[in-house]
Amino acid sequence: MKIQTIAVHAANEPDAATGAVAAPIHMSTTYLRAADGSYPGGYVYGRSENPNRVSLEVALALLEGGAAAAAFASGLAAIHAIFQALQPGDHAVVSQDIYHGTHAMLEKVMLRWGLDISFVSFDDLDTVRGALRKNTRLVYLETPTNPMMKIIDLAEVIALAHGAGAKVVVDNTLATPVLQRPLDPSSPQDGSLGTCPGADISVHSSTKYFGGHSDVTGGALIVKSADELFTRIREEQSLAGAVPSPFDCWLIRRGLATLPLRVAAQSANALKIAEFLQAHEGVSRVHYPGLPDHPGHAVARKQMSAFGGMLSFQVAAGEAAAKQVAASTKLFTQATSLGSVESLIEHRASVSGESASTPRDLLRLSVGIEAEEDLIEDLEQALES
Ligand SMILES: *Cc1c(COP(=O)(O)O)cnc(C)c1O
């Protein structure tokens, strides 16, 4: 089945007990035990398993072409579970260009726990190769990166890491499985990555495109095979207990139904906006992999089916002018986060902190599903101001 059909139908049968077409929300934390001690419904206790969580996990595994999925209370909880499933003393090579919260969590929590982590630039794969060690268990990256929208060649990183016996984790939040399938590149929309064996884990902040409406916090990871590492991740999920509520799972599962439609509209809008900004004299640079002169354009064409709803640009008149633009839009809401139906604008350097390498004159856009003409008109009046 195509992804649009999976998004609607996966683990979304009418309710057997009532015939309800929209899935019920199962709030119960505990389940009936039969006289012989068995559990006729297959469920025991809410932290371990919940029908809404199972439905979400089954749908996510099918969407990404993975063997299994685990849902968490936030994106960072999902990422944390992956690193916690390693042993103290294990080594990981992590891209410098990752979500700033992931970087902070790894530094403040996982280093203290005894993991050994090398944060390196993935701009040049020789740097990655040089960072690999005998005890390197994981290579962790995001592509496209945020907010600079750099593209990293997945097939090359995967070959390199697997050659060194390390697993590859891709934070696929920005691309979503609609545009990029790190685990199952044999069936990308355009068939071009067919010979790549695929990454081992894809991880998401469900808070972003999966939920898609800025109203639910969640995270999830999808694995290529349900191996020993996944068994430990499942233990982290049920024993550390950073699980999403039944209602949160229901909201995210509902969001998935429209994910392919939303991402298609967001990608189409973002491309038009990038072209508009590139032609505007008040803008010095536009960072969007869909533009033919973007340094990662060729690789993006190879590993993505479209270029996504995120882009950033630099305001020619500098930081103060950039902040003025962000304060002057009427449709783009000035707020952090991304992936929702409404368009957002953000002065990224003042959110991700002083240490960040983000240019001070840079604005990040999360493009929504509004009409492209209205969004462009809004940016035009803000840039005039
Ligand atoms: C937001 C985000 C996260 C963290 O997810 P939360 O749901 O906020 O915990 C991780 N990675 C990326 C790329 C993100 O955008």
Looking at every residue in the chain, the average pLDDT score rounds to 96
Residue nearest atom 6 in ligand 1 by C-alpha distance: 75
Work out the average pLDDT over 54-78: 98
Atom of ligand 1 at shortest range from CA of 206: 7
Reduced to 3 states, what is the DSSP secondary structure of residue 139?
A: strand
How far, CA to CA in Å, does 277 sit from each of 146, 259, 291? 18, 26, 11
Establish whether residue 282 lines the binding site of ligand 1, counting it when its CB lies within 6 angstroms of any ligand atom.
no
Specify the pLDDT at position 190: 56
Buried b or exposed e, range 98-133, using 16+ CB within 10 angstroms: bbbebbebbeeebeeeebbbbbbebeeeeebeebbe
Average pLDDT over every residue of 147-155: 97
121-133, pLDDT tens digit by residue? 999 999 999 999 9
The whole-number pLDDT of residue 191 equals 47
What pLDDT is stored for residue 189 in this prediction? 55
- The residues that are catalytic are 47, 99, 171, 208
- Per-residue pLDDT, 195: 76
pTM value > 0.85: yes
* CA-nearest residue, atom 8 of ligand 1: 75
- Residues 78-95 have a mean pLDDT of 97
pLDDT at 192 over 70: no
Distance CA 68, CA 90 (A): 24
How confident is the model at residue 357, as a pLDDT? 80
Which of 94, 102, 217 most suits a substitution to test ligand 1, by most atoms within 8 Å of the C-beta?
Answer: 102
- Residue ranges in the chain assigned as alpha helix (H): 3-9, 51-64, 75-84, 100-105, 125-131, 154-163, 176-179, 228-235, 246-257, 259-278, 297-303, 319-328, 349-352, 372-384
Stretch 53-77: mean pLDDT: 98
pLDDT digits (tens, 9 = 90+) for 263-297: 999 999 999 999 999 999 999 999 999 999 999 99
> Strand 310-315 relative to strand 362-366: parallel, antiparallel, unpaired?
antiparallel
Length of the chain measured in residues: 385
Task: Answer yes or no: is pLDDT of 342 > 90.
Answer: yes
Q: pLDDT digit string (tens) for 10-44?
A: 999 999 999 999 999 999 999 999 999 999 999 99
pLDDT for 89 equals 95
pLDDT-derived band at 355, boundaries 50, 70, 90? low
CB 126 within 8 A of CB 154: no
Centre of ligand 1 from the C-alpha of residue 313, in Å:
21
Counting ligand 1 atoms within 8 A of each CB, the residue from 74, 109, 170, 207 with the most, and so the one to mutate, is 207
What integer pLDDT is reported at residue 354 of this predicted model? 55
286 lines ligand 1 (CB under 6 A): no
